[in-house]
Structure 1
Amino acid sequence: MFFTALIVLFVLSGIAHYAHFGTLYEFIISAAAILFVAGFLGKATESVAHYAGQRLGGFLNATFGNAAELIIAIFLVKEGLFDMVKASLTGSIIGNLLLVLGLSVFLGGLKFKEQRFNVQLASHNSSLMILAVIALVIPAIFISTEHYSVEHSKTLSIAIAGILIVAYILWLVFSMITHKDVLADVEESTPDKGEHPAWSMRTSILFLVVATVMTAFVSEWLVGTLDSLTDKFGLSELFVGAFVIAIVGNAAEHSAAVMLAMKNKIGAAVEIAVGSSLQIALFVAPVLIFVSLLFGNTMDIVFTPIELASIAVAVFIAKSIAQDGRTNWYEGSLLVMVYIILGFAFYLI
């Protein structure tokens, strides 16, 4: 049933795009298609995670889940829609830290009174989230107060982007190689606790590639509707980027993280939610700076005060809740409430 709906929506999305059904219909069909494609992506990565363990599995899920976000953003960069790109990055970060993590902790907490994960991993994640905030705040302050020229703004953005990519690569080496045992999940003893994967390792990898290619096509069709959609309904680029694109683009993480938390695999759920936010801030955003450089119109790394405040708020409460390595349903509800507050604020812009 799922695969039938996936194929039907994918084909319909292509037909709607090339036959020009109308902006609203194209957007609805493409958004529905990308949700199913993201679900397919999440299922494939969860199957791979069976063979790799919770931490690596969570990393793979976050990485392939962010494929939709990255591909959508590249098409937006190509169109020169930099404000919408930054809004979608903001939405992705706060969405993962507040909505994905919040729902995972809440629903997992309803089933299990208290869930635990590696406290040292929580501490390192908190430090990296603070680094991400610093890296975004510094250029905004210096460029606005010191009145940097356009060239100086671009130079600073490229330099910070390069530093963040190096920091992320070093984190992967630290967490996956040199200190892998120290940061191992509390509950993990055998990969996936004896459950059977959906597919074989080879089939899972093949499906990952297929799902990523499908995501690329549907993302391009979705992006093509955004300009007309914002004009037609009077929505701000900030709201569309931060909430509509971010929620659709992160559908894979939403489903997979919640599913894992309800299986008492909160370590993998946290790795998906927090790890995905870190990947967006420390890798995807910097990569987009260099992608824009290749297109001949460099995007700066200066976010608006609203976006910076939203990211800082999300990081602050996520750090407060996750730093002790223990979670319960009430903490999850707090994260979701903060996300709803930000949603209302963005909608009214």
Structure 2
Amino acid sequence: MNLRLFFSLVGASVLLAAFAHYFTDNEFFQFATSALAIIFLAAWLGKSTESVAHYAGDRIGGFLNATFGNAAELIIAFFLVKEGLFDMVKASITGAIIGNMLLVLGLSVLLGGLKYKEQNFNSRLAGHNASLMTLAIVALFIPAVFMRELAPVKIETLSIVIAILLIVAYILWLIFSMITHSDFLSDIEPHESEAVWSKGVSIVMLAVSTVFVAVVSEWLVHGVQHVSHSLGWSELFVGAFVIAIIGNAAEHSAALLLAMKGRIGAAVEIAIGSSLQIALFVAPTLVLVSLLLGNPMDIVFTPFELAAIGVATFITISITKDGATNWFEGVLLLTVYIILGTAFFFA
């Protein structure tokens, strides 16, 4: 798409969302325009991170794509925590994890597989990703099991301990994967001949798009509760699928483009790396942030959410463990996502 046309669409969507937020009382219109603006802003953020990744290399580039792609989810979740909507926060975390592993990765594998019969990526990286996701499931499973046996204050303390341990584990994983063992986990894939912008402009674009995502995310949160009630949707479904799909827009755009260019390793790094970042860093960080806000949130997830994360992790590990993908494996991932979405809708 022509850059001038693209930024015209971004500007128009943000102005429409601002008009709805400041000059109308229709909360459904406010939510719809904010969601539209978030999607366009996430595409801008994704394009910026892809340009930065051109200068930073595959591993760091994939990490930056995942990190700034998760900016929308983190910012939206922060405002949800501030409003005390903990059930929706946990649902959005669940949705972001399964959305990246099933929807983003599924679409990337499917569309990339339609162009290339088989695409390969680092199988060692797939093995480490599997171990890290298993750690995340264990960390989320334990508080849910002990919830009935422990007093609320002890559950709160357990949540804090787990949150700190997960953050430490994630930081050590970054050191392991990007410093001490980076040569074992890298992929050699074709790069585009040139980036969209220069290095300096790419960094500025990344920062500005993130600021706009923060502003519009606050507008989105104001209307989400009214919309969920008026449509009869549960907070579980809204958080796990509606907000998560909107927040995942950046990963969608970046991962899909990379997969269709034959860079499935970078697409896998964005999709699975993003899920890992949410489970091991974003969710624990929100627990600690809630303490600073004076309204502590525990890390106890519902059986529905734990089942969804467990199922998504199981099939993702099964499909990626050999370091090769094809279009049919993308279909399998998307099928599981639709099954979970239907179940959450009726829950």
Q: Is TM > 0.5 for Structure 1 vs Structure 2?
A: yes
1:95-115 per-residue CA deviation (whole Å, 9 max, x = no partner) reads 000000000001101100110
Match among 108, 114, 117 for residue 110 of structure 1: 114
SS at match of 1:225: helix
Whole-Å Cα distance in 2 between the matches of residues 73 and 243 of structure 1?
14
Matches of 1:68 and 1:87, distance apart in 2: 15
Matched, 1:7 2:14: no
The C-alpha deviation readout for 1:45-96, integer Å capped at 9, x for no partner, is: 0001111122211110010000000000000000000000000000000000
Alignment-derived partner of residue 234 in structure 2? 236
Could you tell me which residue of structure 1 aligns to residue 206 of structure 2? Answer: 208
Distance, in Å, in 2 between the alignment partners of 1:77 and 1:193 is: 40
Task: Give the drift of 1:193.
Answer: 2.6
Cα 1:267–1:150 shift into 2, 3 Å: same
Q: 1:79 aligns with which of 58, 79, 83?
A: 83
Q: Give per-residue Cα distances to partners, 1:280-318, cap 9 Å, x unaligned.
A: 000000000011000101100000000000000000000
Q: TM-score, with normalisation over the residues of structure 2?
A: 0.98
Cα distance in 1 for residues equivalent to 2:24 and 2:196: 37
Which residue of the partner structure matches residue 300 of structure 1?
298
Q: Which runs of 5+ in 2 are unaligned?
A: none
In the TM superposition, 1:99-248 aligns within 5 A as: 99-144=103-148, 146=149, 148-185=150-187, 187-188=188-189, 193-248=191-246
SS in 1 for 2:185: coil
Of residues 17-26 and 312-321 in structure 1, the stretch that sits farther from structure 2 once superposed is 17-26
The corresponding residue for 2:344 is: 346
Cα deviation, 1:21-53, whole Å, max 9, x if unaligned, reads 401111111111000000000000000111112
Structure 1 gaps of 5+ residues are: none
For normalisation by structure 1, the TM-score amounts to 0.97
Query: Which of 281, 284, 296 lines up with 1:283 in the alignment?
Result: 281
Q: Report if the CA contact (8 A) 1:55-1:267 is conserved.
A: no
CA distance in 2, matches of 1:101, 1:194: 21
Mapping of residues 10-89 of structure 1, within 5 Å? 10-89=14-93
Matches of 2:224 and 2:208 in 1, distance apart?
A: 25
Tell me the distance in 2 between the aligned counterparts of 1:60 and 1:267.
15
**C-alpha separation between the residues in 1 aligned to 2:159 and 2:98?**
22
The offset of 1:20, in angstroms, is 2.6
- In structure 2, distance between residues paired with 1:159 and 1:21: 43
How much has 1:194 moved relative to structure 2?
4.8
Output the CA distance in 2 between the equivalents of 1:287 and 1:195.
38
Contact 1:23/1:228 (8 A) holds in 2: yes
Q: Give the aligned length.
A: 343
Question: CA RMSD of the aligned region, Å?
Answer: 0.8
Provide the C-alpha distance between the structure 1 equivalents of 2:118 and 2:30, rounded to a whole number of angstroms. Answer: 43
Distance across 1 between alignment mates of 2:343 and 2:253: 25
CA distance in 1 between counterparts of 2:28 and 2:332 reads: 34
1:12 CA displacement: 1.5
Moved over 4 A (4+): none
Residue 217 of structure 1 aligns to a residue whose secondary structure is helix
* Conserved 8 A contact 1:109-1:329: yes
Aligned equivalents of 2:239, 2:191: Cα separation in 1: 38
